Every structure is written in C-alpha cells, then in structure tokens.
Structure 1
C-alpha cells in the first residue's frame, strides 16, 4: 500500500507570527476599522424574474444604482469593500449607518440585525488552503431589502456562489421563481454547505496524522498536530455564532421573510447544527491525537528503558565478580591458579548466557 503524503508545516506554525486577516477580533461596530483599501472592485448585478434575467459586471458603483427602480429581484454582489462604494450603495438602498459600519469592519462575530427596512446578516466564508493545510476566513455581509439582496465580499478572485449564478442563468429554477428572501436563503445555504467541504479537508489531515504518529512520533509530528489543532479551533470558533444568526432569522417576524421560506431557513439551521457538532468531534479527535502522540512517546521511552535495564542486569553479575577479584588482598581463592583468568571468564559467560535464556523464556525481550 502506497504511503500517504506527509503534512507540510507552513511558516505560520510559529505562534508569534499570526496572520491578521485570520484573527477573530469581535470588534464592536463603532470601533475604528483598519481595513486596507482595495485596488480592484468588481460588482456583479443579476436582475431577474421568472421569465427574464439581466446580468452585468462592472467596476463602477454608479452602474448598479440604476436597478433601484425595477420591480424585479436584484442581487448586487460587491467584491472588494471600499468605504466610498459602501456609502453610495447604502445611501441608495436605505441601509442604516450602523449596518454600513458592520460591513466596513473586519473579524467580527457572525450576527443578524434588523434595522430600518433592511435585514442584515454577517458571517464567515471559509476556504481551505491545500498548499499550507490551513483555513482562510473571509467576512461576508448580506443585506436583504425589498426585492434586493446586496452581498459584500473582500476578495474579488474567489467565492462559493458560482452554483447560485448558474441556477439564476437557467430558466424554470426555483431560485428564479422565488423572491429575494429565497435568494438570501440560497446564499446562506451555499456558505454553510461549504463548511462541510472545509471540514472534509481537515478530517483528511487528521486521518493522515493518525497514520504518521505511530511511524514518526517526533517533534515534527507534534508540530503538525498542534497546527491542525489550531486550525480546527479557529474553524469551530468562526462557525459557532452562525447558529445564533440562523436562529434569529427563524424567530424574526420581518415582512421581508415570507412564511413559505421559513422551512428553507430551518434546513440551513439544521446544517449549521450538524457542522458545529462535527467541528466539536474533530476537536476531540485532535485532542485524541495528542494523547496518542504522548502514548507513543511513552512507549518509545519504555522500550529504551527496557533495553537499558536488560543490559544493566546482564552486566551486573560480571561487575560483581570483577569487583571481588579486583580487591587488593594477598590471600584469595584461585588467585594464584594459572587457569584462574579463564575460569572467571567461563563463569561470567555462563551466567550471561543463562540470564539471556531465562529472559527470553519469560518474554522480557
């Protein structure tokens, strides 16, 4: 059977070198943000109903504001968050200033708010980085208004929403037949489902570690265990508040959420509960890996001590004999015997072989 590849140890293994974009700071909404200004912004607009759809990709926020007059469902996805663009979009769609500050913040805990005529959701979108065996967290903000959903993301080069885009481009899909609240459900469901993809990758790393530990119980393996443990705890910490977010949506009586959509949000809630339980199980598995590592190290140490004990025991009789005949007395038995040297060697060899036979018979080594 081919050996599975070893886990790489990225530079981030140093606990004093933590990436800022992966910290969960839980800043209050009024805190001053330190978000870096992005150079590139991509805005994708889908305007659709059951029969028609219009799609536009632009880098100018002014181009998406003309969709405010239409009665069709609109999805405005902003990749790359800049304060000026957020302020313009928030102004046109009546997004409250507090929600705007949430959108501009970084590292916040997942949350749900209802302010004014909008319903707001903020949650992490999580990716797995195979080259470093680590996870990366991106904050996503979703604003639900009348016939419109606005989503804000940090990185314009990636997201997990392509399946939703494909469904919107196809006629007759449920997404095209439903309202904006169903689109919000679809976005949340896609983000939550991607959590399981990330957990599958983490689970594969845990399985690899289970195979490595018995073969290589060394400091490098311990570093891999600690790194996977840190990533697992970071993942669990990120997704845990999403359960409260979805619970808030289920309890909400906002007119933007129709009764026939509640069952879909209930389905997403069930998924996030499963994700939290699975993340807790992975945390326990990593802790078991640490216990397995220490058990292997103790077993290895016991084997070394066993060998040393056997060697010491085998040499003890010879040490006693040489010690006795090394004493400076004039009169000792066999001291003047011309064959005394060979007799003593024969006695020591006989004792040595006898002890090895007894130890082997008792399965001591």
Structure 2
C-alpha cells in the first residue's frame, strides 16, 4: 500500500519550532461566539445556547452545578466573564494567550488549568492542536475553546443528560475532572491513528524503501514532537490537582484525578516508544540503503572480475610484437575467444562454491 505524505514540508517545521516566549502573540478575535450552558442538579437539567455573553451571567449563584462552554474567544467577552465570576486577572491573561504550555494554577476562589485538545488531520498526516482553558469555581465550570466547529465533549454532553449518571450526582469538581479526562482519552485516539501511519511506513521501508522514505520518517518525527510537547506537561498539571488542598475539590474526587494521571503517564510512555520506533526506522532505512549499495557494488565487482580475463587475453594478442604464439594460427581467433569464455565460467563456479554470490 503506497502512502501519501506531504514531502519536504518545511513550513510545518516552522509551525512547530517557532516559539518565542519574549514576544506576546496577538490572538485574532473570533468572528462568531457560541455559548452552551448546562445547568443541572441530581433531579433536573436545563440546556441553553446563547449568542451574547451576558446571557450566562445569571448562572453564577443559582444553587445548581453549571457548565458554561464558550466557543470562540473575544477579549471583551472573556474580560466580561472573568469580571462577573471573579476570575483573577492572571488567569484572564492565560486564557487569551497563544501557544501556552499546559499548566495548572490555583487562586483564592478558583482553580484554573490550560491544555490542548489534539486532533489528527487525515489529509495532511499532521497533529493539530486547540488550546482550551478550564476554570473551576464554586458550583461552576467555565471552559474556553478556540474552535467552535469541533471538540471532544459530545460523549460528556450525553452523560450529563442521564438522570442517574455520576456527573449529575456529583459537583463541579467531578465535572472538571470529566472534561480533562475526555481530552486525555482523545490523546490515545490521535496516537492510535499516528501509530497506524508508523506501521504502514515501516512496512513500506522494509518492502520498497525509496528516496522519499527518509522524508516521510522526518515528517512523522515532527508530529511526535507535537505530541510530546502537548502530552508531557499535562502530567504535572494533573498532579497539581492531586496535591491541591483547595476546598473546591472534594476528597473523593482525588482518586479520579489519579486515574487521569495514570493515563497521561501511559500516554507519555507511548510517545517515547513511538519516538524510539522512528529512530529504529531511520536506522533500518539507512541499513537498507547501505545493503542496496553493497549489492550494487558486489554485482559491479563480479562483472569486473569476469571481464578481467577477456581484457588480459585481448591485451596480450593486441600487442605489437612480430612473434606471438598462435598469432598466425588458422584457429587462433577461436582459441582466444574460447579462453575468454571458459575462464569467466570457471570463475563463476569458484565464486559460487565459496558463497560469494
């Protein structure tokens, strides 16, 4: 099966490595903002969809557990939400930041975490990322997403609607855990798809490695860099929730964060395993290239050896001496040609007996 890879994608290299923490990147204002609200308790649930940020303000202190999911970021909207829900200014800056490293912060009245949702682009064979910020407060969770067209929370939305589900019976801290768990679980989906590409590429290299195989290996190694950069810091982020003594987290919820921690450690180990596979694959490619070159050199050497007797015989009979044996013999030509054929045939037999080819 022939793979299709974007070969020599130097632009992708710039996207991955162009990070300068001393320069504050400018975030583009979202053209559209979509707000989805789930307001629920153990007995009932209400779902709302708003276009204006002010419409979700009255969920602040209504006694229920509220999840406010904001798709599309505008500075004015984020500032208004943070002001209404008493979210610290430093958290506001992190929400509006671009290219942040996954992190977890704990303020007086809220807990904040930032990480990336990952998606696999089947067309370009690339790992795409979307920054998501989650704020946990008393009886509410607010999530900020960049892209309104996709996320990984559909299964969570369905679970909230089930009356006797764990989500409905628990508080905002369990809801926060569920959001993080969904994001981390999706890492494995992305890694599985990337693993399929690695296996196919390995098979291709073993069967018919060509000049572009090394470029394909390099392309996949870039995507593993994206994976590692997004997965590895999440371990410290989740560990921050486990070690926290905030009143926003119930003691029984800690064991769920420990489960997420186990998953992210496993994901980080898998990324390292994939990285080792790519290094081994590169060595395999180089070894196959060397073996192919050795085969070519062996064939050329054998051909040269087989032609050597004919060259010597032809050179001897081509010398400008008056007296050369069989020079004027009536069968001299046939004797010379016979020697040119018999000696190489004898050489081939000797080479095969010694296992040289």
TM-score (norm 2): 0.96
Aligned to 1:179: 171
Matched, 1:15 2:7: no
Matched, 1:360 2:352: yes
Deviation at 1:354, TM superposition (A): 1.1
Aligned to 1:93: 85
Aligned to 1:27: 21
Question: What do the CA deviations read for 1:110-157 (whole angstroms, capped 9, x no partner)?
Answer: 000012311000011101111111110111100001100000111000
- Helix, strand or coil at the partner of 1:219: coil
Give the alignment partner of residue 149 of structure 1, picking from 141, 148, 155. Answer: 141
Question: What do the CA deviations read for 1:81-107 (whole angstroms, capped 9, x no partner)?
Answer: 110110010000011111001000111
Q: Could you tell me how far apart the structure 2 residues matched to 1:243 and 1:7 are? A: 34
Q: Could you tell me how far apart the structure 1 residues matched to 2:181 and 2:20 are? A: 23
- Helix, strand or coil at the partner of 2:10: coil
Deviation at 1:17, TM superposition (A): 4.9
Deviation at 1:170, TM superposition (A): 1.0
Residues 210 and 229 (structure 1), Cα distance of their counterparts in 2 relative to 1, 3 Å cut: same
Q: Could you tell me how far apart the structure 2 residues matched to 1:275 and 1:162 are? A: 22
Aligned to 1:103: 95
Matched, 1:284 2:248: no
| Maintained 8 Å contact 1:27/1:107 | no
- Helix, strand or coil at the partner of 1:69: coil
Deviation at 1:364, TM superposition (A): 2.4
Aligned to 2:247: 255
| Maintained 8 Å contact 2:13/2:222 | no
- Worse-matched range after superposition: 166-175 or 353-362: 353-362
Give the alignment partner of residue 327 of structure 2, picking from 322, 326, 335. Answer: 335
- Helix, strand or coil at the partner of 2:212: helix
Matched, 1:216 2:226: no
Stretches of structure 2 that go unaligned for 5 or more consecutive residues are: none
- Helix, strand or coil at the partner of 1:102: helix
- Helix, strand or coil at the partner of 1:240: helix
Question: What do the CA deviations read for 1:293-324 (whole angstroms, capped 9, x no partner)?
Answer: 11111111111011001101101111111111
Q: Could you tell me how far apart the structure 1 residues matched to 2:36 and 2:296 are? A: 65
Aligned to 2:339: 347
Aligned to 2:261: 269
Q: Could you tell me how far apart the structure 2 residues matched to 1:233 and 1:135 are? A: 10
Question: What do the CA deviations read for 1:148-177 (whole angstroms, capped 9, x no partner)?
Answer: 000011100000001110011111000000
Aligned to 2:32: 40
- Helix, strand or coil at the partner of 2:304: helix
Q: Could you tell me how far apart the structure 2 residues matched to 1:47 and 1:305 are? A: 74
Aligned Cα root-mean-square deviation (Å): 1.5
Q: Which runs of 4+ in 1 moved over 6 A?
A: none
Stretches of structure 1 that go unaligned for 5 or more consecutive residues are: none
Matched, 1:202 2:197: no
Q: Could you tell me how far apart the structure 2 residues matched to 1:113 and 1:75 are? A: 19
| Maintained 8 Å contact 1:38/1:81 | yes
Matched, 1:312 2:304: yes
Corresponding pairs, count: 357
Q: Could you tell me how far apart the structure 1 residues matched to 2:5 and 2:30 are? A: 30
Deviation at 1:362, TM superposition (A): 3.1
- Helix, strand or coil at the partner of 2:127: strand
- Helix, strand or coil at the partner of 2:132: strand
Q: Could you tell me how far apart the structure 2 residues matched to 1:352 and 1:10 are? A: 49
Q: Could you tell me how far apart the structure 2 residues matched to 1:141 and 1:227 are? A: 29
Deviation at 1:363, TM superposition (A): 3.2
Residues 108 and 237 (structure 1), Cα distance of their counterparts in 2 relative to 1, 3 Å cut: same
Give the alignment partner of residue 104 of structure 2, picking from 112, 115, 122. Answer: 112
Deviation at 1:76, TM superposition (A): 0.4
